[in-house]
Amino acid sequence: MHDLHTHSNQSDGILSPVQLVSRAVERGVTCLALTDHDTLSGIAEAESEARRLGLQLIPGIEFSCLWQGVGVHVVGLNVDPEREALLAAVAGQTESRTTRAQMIGERLAKLGFVDAYAGATALAGGEVGRPHFARYLVEIGAVKDINAAFKQYLGAGKAGDVKQLWPEVGQAVSWILAGGGVPVLAHPDKYKMTRSKLLRLVKEFVEAGGQALEVVSGRQDPHLTATLAKLAQDAGLYASIGSDFHVPDQPWQELGAMGALPVSCRPVWQLWQ
Ligand code: MN
Ligand code: MN
Ligand code: MN
């Protein structure tokens, strides 16, 4: 079974790459892509554990980008984690994320949470993001849970909602192609776009060199799966499937716990088999 979209603690997941691989094996996954946000730092560790347990590990990444002002994610599958062009892109994204995390820390400090940046950094295995600030605020008892942290301090319009300069979709596609990988437009339904806007995004993604659409993302309505399968087919895109796993207590995003790709789809793994 394929699960081609997962996160470790090298971005905003909870498990280490080693723990992620072993959980994937327990859950019956035979081919796993580690696709941390804007980083390749967990790949080596995941690869060696995958070799030990006999699981096929696909090196991947999930780039945050912008398209017409909307935050859009492009996953790169089967990238070569040693390619210079890809490493340079990752370094740029890291710098951008660090600057943003420091700004969030400064804003929270002004609200009296003077150790927020240090606290969030301590909770992050790799790069620091809003979920780490949220966990820190829960830990010090400032809020009762993660949702409350976003609602009061980190969500849209709140002090910690610091916008970031993300690359355009076409730029992320180029980075992935330069890294020898397959660009996949991630979880199209999450953007909550109108159908015509989504069609425009898909068209531009294809023109930029995009090759696949994530037809299945976690547990989803079969009607949505059928709609996205058709969209992939019409656009001449391969189809990908992944849980978007972050933490073990969310059954709708559990490793390997998705429906299958419709038989009408061309699975993205045909590109590397
Ligand atoms: Mn995430
Ligand atoms: Mn995403
Ligand atoms: Mn993701």
Could you read off the pLDDT of 45-83 as tens digits, one per residue? Answer: 999 999 999 999 999 999 999 999 889 999 999 999 999
CA distance 144 to 177: 43
Interval between CA 112 and ligand 2 midpoint (Å): 31
Which residues, chain by chain, have CB under 5 Å from ion ligand 3?
Answer: 62, 244
Task: Please provide the distance, in angstroms rounded to a whole number, between the alpha carbons at the two ends of the chain.
Answer: 14
Interval between CA 64 and ligand 2 midpoint (Å): 8
Average pLDDT over all residues of the chain: 95
Angle at 125 between CA 142 and CA 111, to 5 degrees: 25
pLDDT score at 192: 92
CA distance 55 to 49: 8
Could you read off the pLDDT of 177-219 as tens digits, one per residue? Answer: 999 999 999 999 999 999 999 999 999 999 999 999 999 999 9
Interval between CA 110 and ligand 3 midpoint (Å): 31
pLDDT score at 237: 98
CA distance 41 to 210: 24
CA distance 62 to 187: 11
CA distance 100 to 235: 35
CA distance 170 to 191: 17
Q: Band of the pLDDT at 129, cuts 50, 70, 90?
A: confident
Global pTM reads 0.86
Q: Band of the pLDDT at 163, cuts 50, 70, 90?
A: confident
Interval between CA 107 and ligand 1 midpoint (Å): 22
Interval between CA 187 and ligand 2 midpoint (Å): 7
Report the range of poorest mean pLDDT among 27-31, 140-144, 154-158: 154-158
